[in-house]
Amino acid sequence: MSNRRQFLAAASAAGLAALSAGVPADATVRRRRNPSLTFYGAVGRVSGSCHLLETSRGLYLIDCGLFMSDTPDRDENASFPFDPKEVRAVFLTHAHADHNGRLPLLVKQGFGGPIYCTDATRDLNRATLRSSLTVGEGEGRSLYGRRDQQKSFELVEVVPYNRRLSKSGVDCRYTDAGHILGSAMIEIWADGRKILFSGDMGPDGAPLLCDPTQHRDADAVLFESTYGAVRGAAANYEAFGRRVRAVLDRGGSLLLPTFALHKTQTLIHLFHGLREDGVIPRDVPVFCDSPSAQQATAIYDAFPQYLDPAAKAARAARGGTLFYRPGFYEARDDDTLLTHGNGPAIYLSTSGMLDHAAAPKHLSRLAEDPRNAVFLIGYQAPGSVGHRVRSGESPMRLPIEERFGPTRYDVRELKLEVDTLSGFSSHAKGQQILNWLGGFDSVGPAYVVHGDPDRAAEMAAGATAMGVQAHAPREGQSFEVTGERFAPGPAPTLPERRADDFAELDS
């Protein structure tokens, strides 16, 4: 029996079991003329995006991401519930590890087709996968080797935004998702149906990138539910500027533990803006000491065509770069640490939860002077140093990773200001996503992914209230794309966001 036949039998059984809700029992017959979707990750949780599209022209994957900290079973990453050799092509939405992190493993296990993505995603994909392999090697649990990774890079074929193209037997079109640089929503036309994979969607009106593309029709649509069914304000940049200024005015330094990709670039851009507007002094240096953040900044600088109009204007006014301006310094982490004590400064440092890299070293040096501050941005997992700092734990044992030798611990009284910044997420809130769905003229069933079970279910309920058939799929569940469509009504008004910050994830 061929792998493909084995796979189809398994997929068919899974599909029939799953489709007791609403799809006819003759799925194997109808499968010949209707494409089907099977969900193998990012269902009932945020990480591991991996959607299988089966068509008369073959099998396709949309994203091939890593299961991350929301997954208790690490071994889950080691294999696929389908044969990678049978996959004809991969369509990649963007370069976050929970969307691209298992591409080299797919190659290692026999995939040899093209990987389609935008040019910016290609570059960020290389940068993020290279650094993740380094991390994996350090912990002795790499899923794949450097050669697999290199081969996965060689399989990448760049596609532009906004052009319908014939690729590997189907048609596709990439449009801007506004989430991180190069991120895309992907439409795929197959067997007379159009499926829209919206990937991760960015927030409207955020700095740097354009708003997510409004689509008008699809026979099936996937969207994320990271935030769940809530609305809420984006970051208030003026208030942010006042808070930064207050720290500097009292002679303090500010530490922003932040993830390397996108948030760091947003903050560099904002600090230049605060300087230009006279909110913070022009002579306060901004340091970024994370090599992965420095790489990401260089890639953001290389693709100005994807900036939103305001960022393009700022770039022109700054002499052709948004980031590499006087007052901004990229340094090795140890170099940056040497500047402590020479007056107020701003430190952008990884890791975002203060568990690794240089950020805990900065915190150790800044901790006992009450003029200083640390602003926690984004999700702080329970048990992380960032979470404990925010909880007010003091004294704290801070993990200090030495370049050579084992991690040592500094014990510090936390006398500095500890504050949380919210509204800097690169994910759209549920209200925005349902409004976006309400902008469709006609749409087939909606599949809610990339969120914990409660949040996916409440987003599905929101779509259902708009007259759209909606599902929050389970792992391995299959759905036929029948072509039945609905005209969505207006989105319901959702409650304000919760107090927790789970959705400030950077993936």
Bridge pairing between strands 373-377 and 254-257: parallel
Q: How far is the CB of 165 from Zn ion (least distance, A)?
A: 23
How far apart are alpha carbons 507 and 98 in whole angstroms? 6
How far apart are alpha carbons 145 and 274 in whole angstroms? 44
How far apart are alpha carbons 94 and 122 in whole angstroms? 9
Strand partners for 59? 54, 87
Neighbours of 433 (CB within 10 A): 27
DSSP label at residue 486: B
Q: How far is the CB of 223 from Zn ion (least distance, A)?
A: 13
- Judged by CB, which is closer to Zn ion: 478, or 507? 507
Q: How far is the CB of 22 from Zn ion (least distance, A)?
A: 30
Give the sign of the dihedral formed by CA 114, CA 120, CA 122, CA 125: negative
Residues lying near Zn ion in the complex (CB under 5 A) are found at 96, 200, 507
- Judged by CB, which is closer to Zn ion: 96, or 102? 96
- Judged by CB, which is closer to Zn ion: 149, or 507? 507
How far apart are alpha carbons 358 and 99 in whole angstroms? 26
With H, G, I as helix, E, B as strand and everything else as coil, classify residue 476. coil
- Judged by CB, which is closer to Zn ion: 350, or 507? 507
- Judged by CB, which is closer to Zn ion: 96, or 365? 96
- Print burial letters for 305-342: b (CB count within 10 Å at least 16), e (below 16): ebbbeebeebbeebeeebbebeebebbebeebbebbee
Q: How far is the CB of 226 from Zn ion (least distance, A)?
A: 9
- Judged by CB, which is closer to Zn ion: 101, or 252? 101
- Judged by CB, which is closer to Zn ion: 18, or 117? 117
- Judged by CB, which is closer to Zn ion: 123, or 219? 123
**Could you tell me which residues come within 8 angstroms of residue 187 by beta carbon, excluding any fewer than 6 positions away?**
164, 172, 173, 175, 194, 195, 196, 197, 215, 218
DSSP label at residue 46: S
Q: How far is the CB of 365 from Zn ion (least distance, A)?
A: 32
Q: How far is the CB of 350 from Zn ion (least distance, A)?
A: 17
- Judged by CB, which is closer to Zn ion: 92, or 284? 92
How far apart are alpha carbons 79 and 351 in whole angstroms? 28
Structure tokens at 179: 């989430």
Q: CA 140, 292, 177, 144: dihedral to nearest 10 degrees?
A: -20
